[in-house]
Amino acid sequence: MATRGKRRALGQHFLRCAAVIRTIAETGASEASRLGCGTLVEIGPGRGAITLPLAEASAGAGYRMLLVEKDDALALKWASSGLAGVETIHADFLELPVSAWLRDANTAVVSNLPYSAGTAILDRLARHPGRIPVMVLMFQAEVAKRIRAEPRSPERGSLSVWIQNAWDLRRLIAVAPGSFYPPPEVSSEVLVFHPRPEPRVSGSGASTRWESLLKAAFAHRRKMLRSGLAAPWRIALERSGVDGTKRAQSLEWEDWQRLFKACASDP
């Protein structure tokens, strides 16, 4: 009883829909094989709905598996499973040093992400486009819509722009609450990510200035940029030639490029 309570506290919903499991596992395994990945990391394997078919495919696909599991009982289960080519790390992924999980130049990632930590985990993963050629990740549907939101969409925000700047993504499948046990109160989506050869905004890369610009631009998302931006950023806006009556969610990629270039020496 205590263990079950703990798992609920961790926000675990175990995937049980065979069609969804097959789609995720087949996509993850085929992409890892196609891209020559040496390691496939699964964050939060849970009871193994996705883990087992991925492990079965590993020999033919050429990858070994690394499982990162926070739950004590489940981590013990996988550590003692005896599955060939599968290693388990008992830890919170958000607290792991990068070197502990990102060991290869080509590392695939597949995960049914916990709702409570999905965006934080994505933030960690997405900072390594040069070493992660593919990610197959499940999010709460509301979060997934924010990640893939296009310009002028009400869901578009700093997360959308930051991710799409460095990654191409597509929706793989929608997942209904009944696909889990216990069923959550919300729907989910699985997104597939591939790194872009170059960021859409030239020079942004790992720039802290780029992230600061996004934070400033979306701080008052209902306001026009000329009203919502603080003075140092507003000067860059005026120099950029970007229409200051626009809101951040309406900017096209060429607008972001001009704005980022203009603030290269500010603030």
pLDDT digits (tens, 9 = 90+) for 208-232: 999 999 999 999 989 999 999 988 8
Pinpoint the alpha helices (H) of 35-152: 51-61, 72-79, 98-101, 118-126, 141-148
Backbone angles phi, psi at 141, to 5 degrees: -55, -40
Q: Profile the chain (267 residues) by mean pLDDT over runs of 10 residues.
A: 36 88 97 97 96 95 96 97 96 98 96 95 97 98 98 96 98 98 96 98 93 96 94 93 97 97 72
Peptide bond into 182 cis (omega under 30): yes
pLDDT of 7 reads 39
pLDDT of 6 reads 38
Instruction: Write the CB contacts of 219 (distance below 8 Å, at least 6 apart in sequence).
Output: 228
Residue 263: burial class (beta carbons within 10 Å; 0-12, 13-18, 19+):
buried
Residue 77 Cα distances to 67, 110, 113, 251, angstroms: 11, 19, 19, 48
Backbone angles phi, psi at 137, to 5 degrees: -130, 140
Q: Do 90 and 66 form a contact (C-beta atoms < 8 A)? A: no
pLDDT of 267 reads 46
pLDDT digits (tens, 9 = 90+) for 221-266: 899 999 999 888 999 999 999 999 999 999 999 999 999 999 876 4
pLDDT of 265 reads 60
Q: How big is the CA angle at 133 (ends 162 and 123), to the nearest 5 degrees?
A: 35
Residue 213: name the closest of 170, 253, 256 by CA.
Answer: 256
pLDDT of 1 reads 28
This prediction's pTM: 0.93
pLDDT of 10 reads 43
Residue ranges of domains in the chain, CATH in brackets: 2-195 (3.40.50.150), 208-262 (1.10.8.100)
Residue 41: burial class (beta carbons within 10 Å; 0-12, 13-18, 19+):
buried
Q: Name the E strands within the chain.
A: 14-15, 39-43, 64-69, 86-90, 107-112, 135-140, 167-175, 180-181, 188-195
